[in-house]
Amino acid sequence: MILAWKRLLPDLFSEYSGSTVVVRCPISFRGFRSLAHWPFIEFHMLKKFVLPVAAGIFAATLALTTSAEAQNVNVRTVRIATGLTFPTFVTHAPGDTSRLFITQKTGAIRIFDLTTNTLLPTPFLSITVAGGTSENDERGLLGLAFDPDYASNGQFYVYYTGTSTNVLARYTRSAANPNVANATGVTMMSWADPFSNHNGGWIGFGPDGNLYMGVGDGGSANDPNGAGQSLATRLGKLHRIKPTVGGAAPYYTVPKGNPFLGGASTIDDEIWSYGLRNPWRCSFDRENGDLFIADVGQNAVEEINFQKAGAGAGRNYGWRCMEGLNCSGLSGCTCNAATLTMPFRTYGHVTGTGGGFSITGGYVYRGCAIPSLQGTYFYADYVTNNVWSLRYNRDTGVQTEFTVRNTQITPSLDGFAVNQISSFGEDANGEIYICDQGSTAGTGAIFKIVPTTGNTPCTPPCPAVDINCDGVVDAADLAALLNNWSGIGTGDINDDGGVDAADLAALLNAWGQL
C-alpha cells in the first residue's frame, strides 16, 4: 500500500502501526489534547474519493469561513430580565442554548429561561458571601464558570469574597433537577485579602481546558503591599489551574506549562501572569482562544491587555510601576522596561465619550444575529456608561473600526435605560449580553445586544473544524484542509494565518464530532 499520512507529513506523526497513527503535534486550540490516536486513512483513497469532493466545495467553504468587515454596523439592545439584585455576571453552560445563568452580588445564581423568556423564581444556588449588599460594595459573588464537561460531570466553579478572604469553590448540579445545584461545595483556594476593594473575580476556561482566574491586588490605593509585582501572593495575578473531576483537596492540579512551577516556593505555582491591579472582566475569544484582560486603573488610566492564544505565560503587565502607558512613580518594577507587556488600548480619566473611570471588559462578538460584527470587541466604562467597540488584529496589533455605541445601547428598543454596566456575557450561540447592576436591590437588569430590527433567531456560525459546515467533522473537511495546505483561509482552524500541522491535528482531534 502507498504510505499515507506519515510520509505525507513526517513532522506531524511519530509512528504508524496497523490501523493507528499517533499525532505528536502539541497544540492548545479549543482545549484539544496534544496526543491522540486516529484511524489510518490511505492517501491514494483520499485522492481518489475525497479530494474531488473537496474541490467542489472549496469556494463555498471559503465564503463560509471568511468574516465580513464591520463597516460601522449599528446595534441596539432589548431588556430580557429585570428584578435582579446587583447582577455581576451572565453566562451559559457549555452547549446549553436554553438558559442563562446570572450571578448576583448577594450570593445567588439565578436562571433565565430563554425558551420561555422568564426568570426562574428559585435560585440555582445560594451561598453565603461577605459584602455585596450595596451598589458600591466591590465584594460578593463575582465569578462563575462551568466545566467544559459540565454535561457529564455537573461541575461548576464560583469566585466570591469571604470575611477578609477571597474564595474559589467548586459545586455540582443536582442529579434530580438540572435547575438546582447541590447546596454544599468544596473550597479549592482561599487567600487573605487585606482590603474590601480590588477583588477581581473573573474565572473562565481557556482553549487549553484549564481554568483561569483574575485576582485584584488586594485593594486600598496604589497597591500598598506591592502585591502586583510579588510572586509570593495570589493578589494582582492571573492564575491557571486544571480542575479535577471529583477527587480530594485541593481539587485541581497545576498545569506543567505554568511559568513559575517548581520554584523554591509553591505559592507561585498557579500564577500564569502578573502585574495586574484589578482585572475587571476578562474573556476568551471563542473563535481563536485569544484572551482580553481589562484592568481598572488608579487615578489616571484604564487599560485592556491582550494575550494571543498559546502565549502569555509569565507576562508582567506592569502594575504598580505603570498605569496604562504612564509611569506611576511607584516602586516594584522599572517603568517602560522591555520585560513589561503594554496594554493595546487605554483611555484617560475624563468625562465625555472618550473616557471614563472604571473599565468593564467585554467580549469579541461571535454570534450569528449580526454577522458583519464578527470579530468586534465590545467593552464599557462603569462610571460614564460609555460603550465602545473595536477590532484588534491579533497578528499586527492594529486597531480599526473604533465606535462609540452609547446611543445604540441606551435606551433599549423597549425604552429602558442601560446604566451601571457591571459586566458583559455570552450565551451558547455567542450573542452578547449586558449586566446593568442597578442602584438598589431588585433594580438590576440584563440586556441583549441585537440588530437594529430587534431580537430575532438565527443559525449559529459553524465551528472552525467543520470546514464545509455540514454538521460533522469528516473526510470532506480533511480533504478541504489538505487541498489548501500551506495556504491561507480554508482550513486555518486556529486562525494563525496559515494551514499547517496544528490545524490538521485540531481537525483530527474533533473527528466525528458535532
403-412 confidence digits (pLDDT tens): 999 999 999 9
d(CA 85, CA 439): 9
- Domain span at residue 250? 82-361
Do 107 and 38 have their domain in common?
Answer: no
Residue type, 372: S
DSSP readout, 222-237?
A: S-TT-GGG-TTSSTTE
Pairing, β 203-205 against β 186-192: unpaired
Quick check: is 393 in a domain?
A: no
pLDDT at 445: 98
Do 269 and 131 have their domain in common?
Answer: yes
Do 218 and 88 have their domain in common?
Answer: yes
Domain stop point among 312, 337, 361: 361
Beta partners for 99? 113
- CB count, 10 Å around CB of 63? 10
pLDDT at 472: 82
Residue with cell 450569528: 368
Do 63 and 87 have their domain in common?
Answer: no
Cis bond before residue 250 (omega within 30° of 0): yes
Do 344 and 268 have their domain in common?
Answer: yes
Do 301 and 340 have their domain in common?
Answer: yes
pLDDT at 461: 67
Quick check: is 169 in a domain?
A: yes
In this structure, of 270-284, 313-327, 345-359, 495-509, the range with the lowest mean pLDDT score is 495-509
Whether pLDDT at 433 is above 50: yes
Residue type, 217: D
CA distances from 284 to 292, 423, 446 (A): 6, 14, 21
What's the pLDDT tens digit per position in 64-86?
Answer: 333 334 457 999 999 999 999 99
H-run or E-run covering 79: strand 76-84
**Contacting residues for 48 by C-beta, under 8 A, at least 6 apart:** none
Quick check: is 375 in a domain?
A: no
Domain stop point among 336, 361, 386: 361
Q: Which three cell numbers stand for residue 20?
A: 493507528
pLDDT at 31: 35
Quick check: is 492 in a domain?
A: yes
Residue with cell 476593594: 197
Residue type, 497: G
Is residue 512 a contact partner of residue 33, using CB atoms and an 8 Å limit? no
CA distances from 349 to 294, 321, 352, 389 (A): 15, 18, 10, 18
Segment 314-343 shows an average pLDDT of 98
In this structure, of 5-14, 125-134, 181-190, the range with the lowest mean pLDDT score is 5-14
Confidence of residue 497 (pLDDT cuts 50, 70, 90): confident
Give the total residue count for the chain.
Answer: 514
- Higher-confidence residue: 264 or 376? 376
Do 61 and 173 have their domain in common?
Answer: no
pLDDT at 513: 60
φ/ψ (deg, to 5) at 493: -65, -40
Burial label for 69, CB within 10 Å (0-12, 13-18, 19+), is: middle
CA distances from 211 to 207, 216, 376, 430 (A): 10, 17, 24, 20
H-run or E-run covering 509: helix 501-509
Asked whether the CA dihedral 132, 215, 212, 390 is positive or negative, the reply is positive
d(CA 91, CA 432): 10
Cα-based angle 422, 424, 429 (whole degrees, multiple of 5): 160
pLDDT at 263: 79
Quick check: is 460 in a domain?
A: no
Whether pLDDT at 3 is above 60: no
Q: Which of 381, 430, 428, 429 is nearest to 409 (CA)?
A: 381
Quick check: is 155 in a domain?
A: yes
Segment 394-402 shows an average pLDDT of 97
pLDDT at 71: 54
Quick check: is 414 in a domain?
A: no
Q: Which three cell numbers stand for residue 1?
A: 500500500
Do 62 and 100 have their domain in common?
Answer: no
Confidence of residue 14 (pLDDT cuts 50, 70, 90): very low
Domain stop point among 318, 341, 361: 361
Do 222 and 280 have their domain in common?
Answer: yes
d(CA 114, CA 72): 29
Interhelix angle 475-483/51-65, rounded to 10 degrees, is 80
H-run or E-run covering 19: none
Pairing, β 271-274 against β 252-253: unpaired
Do 271 and 171 have their domain in common?
Answer: yes
Confidence of residue 512 (pLDDT cuts 50, 70, 90): confident
d(CA 382, CA 187): 31
DSSP readout, 302-353?
A: EEEEEE-TT--TT-B--TTTEETTEE-S-SSS-TT-TTBPPPSEEEES-SST
Q: How many CA atoms lie within 13 A of 508 on its CB side?
A: 27
Mean pLDDT of the chain: 87
What's the pLDDT tens digit per position in 183-204?
Answer: 999 999 999 999 999 999 999 9
d(CA 325, CA 327): 7
Confidence of residue 244 (pLDDT cuts 50, 70, 90): very high
Q: Please tell me the total count of domains within the chain.
A: 2
pLDDT at 470: 83
CA distances from 339 to 95, 304, 396, 440 (A): 40, 18, 20, 44
Whether pLDDT at 13 is above 80: no
Is residue 237 a contact partner of residue 273, using CB atoms and an 8 Å limit? yes
d(CA 253, CA 276): 24
Where residue 267 sits, what CATH number does that domain have?
2.120.10.30
Cis bond before residue 243 (omega within 30° of 0): no
What's the pLDDT tens digit per position in 21-48?
Answer: 333 333 333 333 333 333 323 333 333 3
pLDDT at 464: 87
Do 133 and 37 have their domain in common?
Answer: no
pLDDT at 10: 38
Segment 276-285 shows an average pLDDT of 98
Confidence of residue 153 (pLDDT cuts 50, 70, 90): very high
Chain centre to alpha carbon of residue 282: 6
Quick check: is 345 in a domain?
A: yes
Do 94 and 164 have their domain in common?
Answer: yes
